[in-house]
A and B are shown apart, each in its own frame.
Chain A
Amino acid sequence: MGRFWSILFFLVPILAIATLVMANFGIAPLETARLPRSFSMAGDTIDQLFNGIHLLSALILSGTVLSLGWALWKFDHRRNDNPKARYFTHNTRLEIVWTIIPAFILVFLAFFQMKSWSENKMDRPTLTVNGQSVPVPPIVMVKAKRFGWEFHYAGDDGIVDTQDDIYIENQLVLPVGEDIVLQLESRDVIHSFYVPELRLKQDIVPGMTQFAWFHSREAGDIEIMCTELCGWGHYIMKADLKLVDRSTYDLWLAEQKSPYTPEFKSNPEVAAAENARYTESDARLERSAQAGNDLAENSIE
């Protein structure tokens, strides 16, 4: 039986690596089990990092678990003729070796990935205006709420969160081939904005204004997922994301560009909520009440 168990443990890294390879290269039956193709350069970098650490992990997994299986194969008491096990208690040199070498690998990994993190989360893209570089202004303000997404496009003034914003629900259209900055806010609880194709994820915390950015090189129809539990309807909180070229985008935006867009008019509740936002007094209270009523309606199953 000793051989049986060592084969079982040999199978662990073999199957783990085989399935990982199948998933990564789209081999049946795991052809669907992988991340969708990345739409952005930053996403490619993340993928390379992901695959690189997986490769390293595969090496370590094979090394450790195969030697575990080998120990079971070789040192089973029925096949070990010595009356006793070998008596040795420690080897300081070995301990130092297997601490220092992984330490170097990990420190290298740590520094290697800092660039990717900073381009994804820390260094907001900039543009040059009058010889000065300024951060790219947000093209749209995303307001997450239970259980849907509001998208407020900047109106004629080019600034989001003002009176001439264009309001769309659960559908986001954005141009490809340029730096896109999103302003993320929440109306109620914590949500999270996840687009797998863009390798973009950011929790949206109520009371905080955050920015997320990406640069897609491909057009396509993809989905926005909520990845932070926000209540019973967490699973229905999805929105469509249409990535189109600039001219299509401009055309589309122009169609939406009346403050009384069809979407706006057809949804009096939203219109009321929007108006309340800009009344001087009691704006806060009304908005809360409005959102509260939405919640109350939503929570009835």
Chain B
Amino acid sequence: MAEATVDNLSKHPRTGNPVSRFVFTYVFATDHKIIGLQFLFSSMIWFFVGGFLALAVRWQLAWPWSDMPIFGHLLFADTGGQMSPNFYTMLFTMHASIMIFFVIIPILAGGFGNYLIPLMIGAEDMAFPRVNMMSYWFMWPAFGFIILSFFLPEYGPAAGWTSYPPLSVLNGGAQTLWLMAMVCVGISSMLGAINYLTTIIQMRAPGMTMFRLPMTIWGMFITAIMQAFALPVLTAALLMQLSDRILFTGFFLPENVSINNGVAASGGGQALLWQHLFWFYSHPAVYIMILPAMGMVSDIVSCFSRKPLFGYRPMVYSITAIAGLGFIVWGHHMFISGMNHTLAMSFMVSTMLIALPSGVKVFNWIGTLWGGKLHLTTPMLFCIGFVSMFVIGGLSGIVMSAPPVDIVVHDTYYIVAHLHYVLFASSVLGVFGALYFWFPKMFGRMMNEPLGKIHFLLTFIFLNGTFFPMHFLSRMPRRVADPYIYDGLKDLLPLNQFMTICAFAMGAAQIIFLLNFFGSLWFGPKAGRNPWNSNTLEWTVPSPPPHGNFEVQPIVRRGPYEYSHPDVEEDFCPQTKNDV
């Protein structure tokens, strides 16, 4: 199929000494599966780093200025383990930056996107294997900058993950490292996006029409389009802020702002400009972080309902509609920002419209379950958890899209509740579901079901215990190191302590996942080609798939969701099956 696009470099070197073989197979790999796993593992490591930062934030909110367990005395010996306010600011800044840019986007687009796109469309590899490798290796300078920034005297970047100037321009040198890291992450994502688009458009197996693509691939495809269009804007904005910091330009600095100990800034800029540019990327980024998960959830729900995905085409159209509308709603982050107040009206309408395709997706998932023969395996439970949590996250989104209500909830814990229901309770549950589902394909072994179910149960209970009470805290501003300094917030301490205990329990539940993941990696029962009796192409190849993926060119004869077809004896019908 693709002689022209897969070059010799992307083949495993079969000869040479073992060290260079190892290096070229697993380190400077051009095979999409290895690159996918590289993204997966680095994201998992950062997931735990970001999680620890979140727990430290929660610690401060529950027991302000007390001795942090383990880390308190290590970092703040002179104050008796009491963290400094600047450290707290760093904590939530880096928690968000790491979780968004180093975990969710790379694990969804980089990890699952890389691993699944060629396998699910019947291709030998990505269209540009070396660009793919470059995409992964651009993450490492970013990792380096961020790790380095932790060792600066101010503990790390501390302007919030949104980095609003003038504060971000005025902050210490860690912010420069943060900006450079984000530029590298952006380049990585853009390279990935170009690769995914080309691969999906050009390298589908014969018979794999666009409307026979599994929803996972649709999710990745639309995501790649969004990244390709939105990321250049963010990259430009990051470079502008970088030049404001190091070349003393004035893109975002108005007149009369004093920075750097009294040196008047060059001025003439506009602080709101950054917010427009930033949210023009970062609102689509919200969908970049959930559309691939929605796609994977659709596939998993259909597989374990043993039933076709209800309304395949509406599902595709709604993903497309979410992406399209996602580009014209960024202003809803700025209702209170000082942006023209009339403009808020139009952003409100476009934001509310996004609820329509999102609702269609939820209704279709329920329609898929309806009348099925449900197998409540661990991946299925995570995906149903995804759907139910996405409903909560979506509904609180409608609440805040109303500008008058946003006057109250903007920059308070209500927003924190909403974004964690979408990003943690939806995207991350979807990622867990996908991990449990494709683990047999990736590593050739099954994960342990009872442990998986306990992991799901504990995560599900404690995430709600952590994030649901935040909906009641619309008078508690976010990013405040010690809210109890306000008399009106003093009575919220017990509730915050409850949330913190739940957060720690949720963190502890992830140990079960780690045990299960690494235990199954070595001791799990061997998985066959198709342990879940699924239809899509990746299940027709051995687990794990060999280099080059397919032994013979797959010919696709039907859509991906022909479960329980009345004319077929089994309750599934692989896309390549030809005798129906």
Residues on A lying within 8 angstroms of B by beta carbon are: 1-2, 5, 8-9, 12, 15-16, 19-20, 23, 29-30, 32-36, 45-46, 49-50, 53-54, 57, 60-61, 64-65, 67-68, 71-72, 75-77, 80, 82-91, 94-95, 98-99, 102-103, 106-107, 109-110, 113-114, 116-117, 120-122, 187-190, 192, 194, 196, 199-208, 210, 222-223, 225-236, 238, 284-285, 287-293, 295-296, 301
Contacts and interface: CB of A to CB of B under 8 A. Distances in A.
Given A50-B405, A98-B360, 6 more contacts: A36-B488, A83-B571, A109-B398, A121-B407, A202-B336, A223-B487
A95 B314 contact: yes
Contact of A90 (B159, B314, B356): B314
Contacts of B374: 2, 71-72, 75-77, 80
Given A60-B395, A76-B376, A232-B158, A88 B308 contact: yes
9 contacts: A8-B460, A46-B405, A68-B384, A68-B387, A106-B355, A194-B411, A229-B164, A232-B89, A292-B261
Interface string B372-396: 1111100001001001100110011
A210 B373 contact: no
Contact of B402 (A82, A87, A109): A109
Interface stretch (B103-111, B205-213, B216-224, B559-567): B559-567
B469 interface: yes
Given A33-B492, A89-B308, A65 B388 contact: yes
B402 A53 contact: yes
Interface in B382-433: 384, 387-388, 391-392, 395-396, 398-399, 402-405, 407-408, 410-412
A113 B563 contact: no
Contacts of B388: 9, 12, 64-65, 68
A9 to B, nearest CB: 6
Given A86-B564, A106-B356, A196 B261 contact: no
Given A2-B374, A33-B492, A285-B264, A205 B338 contact: yes
Most buried by B among A67, A72, A77, A285: A77
B387 to A, nearest CB: 6
A227 B495 CA distance: 20
A233 B468 CA distance: 28
Contact of A68 (B306, B312, B366, B494): B366
B580 interface: no
A46 B408 contact: yes
Nearest to A96: B314
A109 B356 CA distance: 13
Contacts of B438: none
Given A46-B407, A84-B564, A201-B407, A19 B469 contact: yes
Nearest to B171: A231
B481 A234 contact: yes
Given A8-B457, A117-B404, A295 B261 contact: yes
A296 B404 contact: no
A263 B170 CA distance: 30
Interface residues of B, number: 116
A292 B260 contact: yes
Contact of A208 (B338, B352, B408): B338
B394 to A, nearest CB: 9
A277 to B, nearest CB: 11
A232 B170 contact: no
Given A109-B402, A208-B338, A291-B258, A61 B457 contact: no
Nearest to A222: B488
B553 interface: no
A272 B403 CA distance: 41
Interface in B311-355: 311-314, 336-338, 341-342, 344-345, 348-349, 352-353, 355
B441 interface: no
A15 to B, nearest CB: 8
Contacts of A2: 374, 376
Interface string B548-574: 000000000000010111100001000
Contacts of B468: 15-16, 19
B371 interface: yes
Contact of B355 (A34, A45, A102): A102
Contact of B475 (A35, A99, A103): A35
A36 B475 contact: yes
Contacts of B495: 30, 32-33
B472 A33 contact: yes
Contacts of B412: 227
A85 B487 CA distance: 59
Contact of A238 (B258, B407, B485): B485
A15 B310 CA distance: 29
Contacts of A225: 477, 486
Interface in B144-193: 158-160, 164, 166-167, 170-171
Interface in B449-465: 453, 457, 460, 464
Q: Which 3 pairs, one residue from A and one from B, show the smallest C-beta to C-beta distance?
A: A207-B254, A292-B262, A33-B472
A284 B494 CA distance: 48
A12 B464 contact: yes
B7 interface: no
Contacts of A82: 373
B521 interface: no
A184 B55 CA distance: 36
A227 B371 contact: no
Interface string B37-71: 00000000000000000000000000000000000
A117 B403 contact: yes
Contacts of A91: 310-311, 367
Contacts of A295: 170, 258, 261
A1 to B, nearest CB: 7
A80 B571 CA distance: 14
A57 B166 contact: no
A284 B264 contact: yes
A34 B77 CA distance: 38
Contacts of B434: none
Contacts of A61: 391-392, 395
Contacts of A236: 485
A196 B369 contact: no
A52 to B, nearest CB: 9
A205 B337 contact: yes
B471 interface: yes
Contacts of B13: none
Nearest to B308: A89
A45 B359 contact: no
A120 B374 CA distance: 50
Contact of A60 (B264, B391, B475): B391
Nearest to A199: B408
Interface string B198-237: 0000000000000000000000000000000000000000
Contacts of B367: 91, 94
B338 A203 contact: yes
Contact of B349 (A9, A65, A110, A202): A110
A2 B364 CA distance: 21
Contacts of A233: 85
A231 to B, nearest CB: 6
Contacts of B313: 90
A296 B349 CA distance: 44
B86 interface: yes
A16 B257 CA distance: 46
A80 B305 CA distance: 12
Contacts of A296: 261-262
Contacts of B348: 110, 113, 117
A172 to B, nearest CB: 15
Contacts of B481: 232, 234-235
